[in-house]
Structure 1
Amino acid sequence: MHFKPVTHVIFDMDGLIIESESIYKKILQQIAKEYGKKYTEEIEGKVLGTTEKDTAKIFLHDLDIPLSVDEFLDIYHKKVKEQLQNPSLMPGAERLIVHLSKHNVPIAVATSSSQEALLVKTKNHQNIFKLFHHIVCGSTDPEVKNGKPAPDIFLVCASRFPEKVDPEKCLVLEDAPNGIKGAISAGMQGVLVPAKNVGEGQRKLATLVIESLEEFRPEFFGLPPFEN
């Protein structure tokens, strides 16, 4: 396997660093059920990695639920606040983040989450999140004009490192095909750690597919290897 060496690493957050996707799924199932509808795997695949507004639009359209986007988001935000207070970390995430930080590899987060949701989800993991140079929240950042699968969030994220970094020198770690599409469109390499419902066809765009961050080998991309 041959990959291009990189200098900077951009992480997605939900489903990659923190185990929040199962909780989001539960929240969307609850809202669907309240309107006598069923939140399907097909819709789940469409909303994975999207901004909150895009999630709302897809969810309401596909399930034909008579709410406005703002009405939906009011309900959604209340449930997120209640249910996402203390998500666990995904396997291998802490080890990798600490390792890259220790070796002075510049790292950042590009999440479709809102700033408000980010604060709720990360408050018990500040030791990890303080290691990132910056965090871009796609749902609330004014510079991110279009959410994933558009490349905007990754280009904005790259531009906020203090040194001017070429997108080719950035590696993106994602769990969602929408995120991988955005990363590749931005001219970056993308490693996919696929969520459970990501089919074979949706994995093809990724530079590399691994089942868990525990399998990630930094040296494949010219980064310092783990010490055994």
Structure 2
Amino acid sequence: MTNKAVTHVLFDVDGLLLDTERLYTEATQKLCDCYGKQFTWDVKKQVMGKKEPESAKMIVDMLKLPMTVEQYIEDIHKEYDTLFPTVPLLPGADKLIRHLHQHKVPIAVVTGSNTKSFELKSANHKEFFSLFHHLVLSGDDPEVKHGKPAPDAFLVGAQRFNDGIEPSKVLVFEDAMNGVEAAHAAGMPCVWVPHAEQDRSVMEGKTELILDSLEHFKPEDFGLPPYDS
């Protein structure tokens, strides 16, 4: 084993456990189409993982949309209400979470989503999310003062295990650059499962491992119980 041995695990949700990033793009582009704008990967990669008010402001400003941030949020939520309840789990997510839960490895969710958004996305996956020790919905969690890439959300996530775990023993799974930066700032090792278009060299030195899919993760590489053969 060459990676750091860990005892606890924190998971982002969007684009990692749930295939929502595709839906975020679809909803945002549909709104942008009304104004002849393109929601490009260059814009998307900068807003991924941030709290909604901040990401909304960035989109409005960067694309010069003729609307207020408040109007943007209201309009985009109409799209989310339709799309989010249909979202599937991503490959490898169900197997990994059930494996860790079965072996009593403490696991938790740390997402930039707020409560309403998370409830929409998890509507058809309630049993799956019940396997986690706790959920940090940093979009409206009063203890998370700053969204990713600040470390606040992951530090709160670790504290809520209530066992005094050291950050270095908490493994983070992320798909977004902002999330990787947050994990690094929190002093936590990170497995990065980036978008196919993402330049992987930009996070050099800030991740323990980069994967194309959760399907390729080997728990024993981080001192966790291996899958049954």
Q: TM-score, normalised by structure 2?
A: 0.96
State the alpha-carbon separation in 2 of the partners of residues 60 and 7 from structure 1: 41
Aligned length: 228
Give percent identity, aligned residues only.
43
State the alpha-carbon separation in 1 of the partners of residues 70 and 197 from structure 2: 28
Structure 2 counterpart SS, 1:172? strand
Partner of 1:127: 127
Question: Given residue 208 of structure 1, which amino acid in structure 2 is its aligned partner?
Answer: L
Q: For 1:32-43, what aligned pairs fall within 5 Å after superposition?
A: 32-43=32-43
Partner of 1:219: 220
Structure 2 counterpart SS, 1:84? helix
State the alpha-carbon separation in 2 of the partners of residues 202 and 176 from structure 1: 11
State the alpha-carbon separation in 2 of the partners of residues 188 and 199 from structure 1: 22
Q: Is the 8 A contact 1:192 1:203 kept in 2?
A: no
Partner of 1:24: 24
Question: Given residue 228 of structure 2, which amino acid in structure 1 is its aligned partner?
Answer: E
Question: Given residue 155 of structure 1, which amino acid in structure 2 is its aligned partner?
Answer: L
Structure 1 counterpart SS, 2:56? helix
Q: Which stretches in structure 1 are left out of the alignment for 5+ residues?
A: none
Q: Is the 8 A contact 2:8 2:105 kept in 1?
A: yes
| Partner deviation per Cα, 1:129-151 (whole Å, 9 max, x = no partner) | 00001111121111111111111
Q: Alpha-carbon deviation of 1:178? A: 0.9
Partner of 2:87: 87
Structure 2 counterpart SS, 1:77? helix
State the alpha-carbon separation in 1 of the partners of residues 49 and 192 from structure 2: 12
Q: TM-score, normalised by structure 1?
A: 0.97
Q: For 1:1-228, what aligned pairs fall within 5 Å after superposition?
A: 2-204=2-204, 205-228=206-229
Q: Is the 8 A contact 1:45 1:197 kept in 2?
A: no
Q: Is the 8 A contact 1:10 1:109 kept in 2?
A: yes
| Partner deviation per Cα, 1:153-176 (whole Å, 9 max, x = no partner) | 000111111211111110000111
State the alpha-carbon separation in 2 of the partners of residues 145 and 71 from structure 1: 24
Question: Over the residues paired in the alignment, what is the CA RMSD in angstroms?
Answer: 1.1
Structure 2 counterpart SS, 1:45? helix
Structure 2 counterpart SS, 1:85? helix
Q: Alpha-carbon deviation of 1:101? A: 0.2
State the alpha-carbon separation in 1 of the partners of residues 177 and 192 from structure 2: 8
Question: Given residue 56 of structure 2, which amino acid in structure 1 is its aligned partner?
Answer: A
Question: Given residue 213 of structure 2, which amino acid in structure 1 is its aligned partner?
Answer: S
Structure 2 counterpart SS, 1:124? coil
Q: Is the 8 A contact 2:194 2:200 kept in 1?
A: no
State the alpha-carbon separation in 1 of the partners of residues 21 and 198 from structure 2: 13
Q: Is the 8 A contact 1:11 1:109 kept in 2?
A: yes
| Partner deviation per Cα, 1:89-113 (whole Å, 9 max, x = no partner) | 1000000000000000000000111
Q: Which stretches in structure 2 are left out of the alignment for 5+ residues?
A: none
Q: Is the 8 A contact 1:173 1:190 kept in 2?
A: yes
